[in-house]
């Protein structure tokens, strides 16, 4: 037999523009350069648009960016603040990345974080006078992971049993989770000594995560979060579970036909994701807040979603993306003080950065056209 001639792509369909790129000449180095250039332009565009919007509100964009820089990366205390914000973002992002391997879109990091926080607070406040500090923290972590995992599991089960898309169900569950939190702090867990404020009593200092020397308020949770990211990366990359998740996420039907337990894989991915988000809630609670109050995790879960997409669901890149978004969040506080803009303003910058990345990541063949 002779080797058959390479077949041309036979049927590309008629979808929008059948432009088939023919990168005939340019070297690898030049392609890399063009690629890098596109990213610079994309991020630059995000910064310029945000600057222009701030300018419309009467702020000086140059001064604004200078302040933002100064408030984030100029000294170790502000660096600590960045790490502080990045910690829950990082875990919320992992909560998106792991299910994404199995083809799920988890927009419920917010709710899973809230429930994780609630579970951690429940365990912590029940035990903090009775056990050693480290033991309380351990129990809080376990409780948070279970709480977040189960909350996410609701969406997983709904998807497997009734076919409801998890993007929709996790979104709706976010609002329910917030109501659960509000119920607890307005009623059963309300601190009697709290001057009528809707909040729980504070966690004892002995049960709080220790701080990292020299970085202001930064706590041990940041190190834990980075360790978890590396661990998740290794598990997804080297274990057969990670490989099977990729198969199920890439083509569930192919996975089923190959005899993989697709339902279990899908469920396990979102359980693990939810557990990670729950842990994020615990770290934030035991590291920073120490007290359950309304708005305790406001939009952390959504920021985590942005971070994961920013990093294209790669756990190692998520570390960087979370720190970037953490810095933007910290800068938001300085905007409020220096430029008189609402702190939520930085959500614009976060969204623009993600849009720039999404616009630049063309999907490959095989994905929906």
Show Cβ contacts of residue 27 under 8 Å, excluding neighbours closer than 6 positions: none
Extract the runs of DSSP E, i.e. beta strands, from 72-146.
none
Distance (Å, rounded) from C-alpha 90 to C-alpha 84?
A: 10
Q: How far is the CB of 361 from another protein (least distance, A)?
A: 7
Interface with another protein (CB under 8 A), residue from 86, 91, 102, 209: 102
- The conformation of residue 219, written as its DSSP 8-state character, comes to B
CA-CA distance, 96 to 363, in Å (whole number)? 19
Among 280, 309, 323, 334, binds another protein (CB under 8 A): 309
Task: Verify binding: residue 57, another protein, rule CB under 8 A.
Answer: yes
Residue with tokens 């049927």: 11
Q: Give the residue, chosen from 45, 70, 126, 355, that forms a contact with another protein under the rule CB under 8 A.
A: 355
Residue 175 in contact with another protein, rule: CB under 8 A: yes
Does position 14 interact with another protein (CB under 8 A)? The reply is yes
Measured from the CB of residue 150, what is the shortest distance to another protein in angstroms? 16
Nearer to another protein, 130 or 162 (CB): 162
Per CB under 8 A, the list member of 194, 202, 250, 320 interacting with another protein is 250
């001064």: which residue's tokens? 63
Query: Could you identify the residue written with the tokens 């390479």?
Result: 6
Does 42 sit near another protein (CB under 8 A)?
no
Residue closer to another protein, measured from CB, 210 or 231: 231
- What the block records as the tokens of 44 is 């630059």
Q: Which stretch binds another protein (CB under 8 A): 75-83, 200-208, 280-288, 347-355?
A: 347-355
Interaxial angle between packed helices 76-101 and 300-310, expressed in degrees from 0 to 180 and rounded to the nearest 10? 70
How much is the CA Rg of the chain, to the nearest whole Å? 23
Host H or E run for residue 280: helix 262-284
* Separation between Cα atoms, residue 229 and residue 222, nearest integer Å: 11
Mark the segment that binds another protein (CB under 8 A) among 118-126, 145-153, 210-218, 351-359.
351-359
Go through the chain and tell me how many residues it has: 369
Size of interface with another protein, in residues (CB under 8 A): 105
Figure out which of the listed residues 162, 188, 192, 195 binds another protein, where binding follows CB under 8 A.
162
Q: Which of 146, 302, 317, 330 binds another protein (CB under 8 A)?
A: 302
Is 198 near another protein (CB under 8 A)?
no
């Amino acid at each position: 037999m002779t080797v058959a001639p390479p077949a041309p792509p036979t049927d590309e369909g008629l979808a929008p523009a059948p432009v088939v790129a023919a990168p005939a000449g340019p070297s690898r180095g030049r392609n890399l350069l063009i690629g890098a250039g596109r990213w610079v332009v994309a991020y630059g565009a995000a910064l310029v648009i945000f600057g222009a919007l701030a300018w419309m509100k009467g702020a000086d964009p140059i001064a604004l960016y200078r302040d933002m820089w100064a408030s984030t990366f100029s000294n170790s205390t502000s660096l600590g603040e960045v790490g502080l914000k990045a910690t829950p973002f990082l875990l919320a992002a992992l909560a998106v990345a792991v299910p994404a391997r199995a083809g799920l879109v988890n927009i419920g990091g917010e709710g899973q974080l809230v429930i994780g926080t609630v579970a951690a607070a429940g365990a912590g406040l029940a035990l903090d006078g009775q056990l050693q500090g480290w033991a309380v923290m351990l129990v809080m972590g376990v409780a948070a992971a279970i709480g977040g995992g189960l909350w996410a599991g609701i969406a997983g089960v709904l998807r497997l049993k009734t076919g409801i898309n998890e993007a929709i169900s996790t979104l709706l569950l976010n609002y329910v989770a917030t109501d659960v939190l509000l119920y607890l702090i307005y009623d059963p867990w309300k601190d009697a000594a709290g001057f009528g404020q809707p909040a729980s009593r504070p966690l004892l200092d002995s049960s709080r995560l220790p701080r990292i020397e020299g970085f202001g308020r930064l706590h041990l949770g940041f190190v834990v979060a980075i360790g978890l990211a590396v661990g998740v990366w290794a598990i997804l990359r080297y274990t057969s579970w990670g490989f099977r998740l990729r198969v199920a996420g890439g083509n569930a039907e192919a996975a089923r036909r190959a005899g993989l337990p697709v339902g279990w894989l899908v469920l396990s991915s979102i359980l693990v994701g939810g557990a990670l988000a729950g842990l994020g809630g615990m770290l934030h609670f035991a590291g920073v807040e120490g007290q359950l109050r309304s708005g305790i995790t406001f939009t952390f879960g959504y920021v985590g979603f942005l971070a994961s997409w920013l990093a294209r669901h790669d756990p190692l890149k998520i570390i960087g993306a979370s720190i970037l978004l953490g810095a933007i969040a910290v800068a938001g506080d300085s905007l409020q003080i220096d430029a008189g803009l609402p702190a939520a303003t930085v959500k614009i910058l976060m969204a623009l950065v993600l849009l720039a990345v999404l616009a630049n990541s063309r999907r490959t063949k095989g994905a929906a056209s």
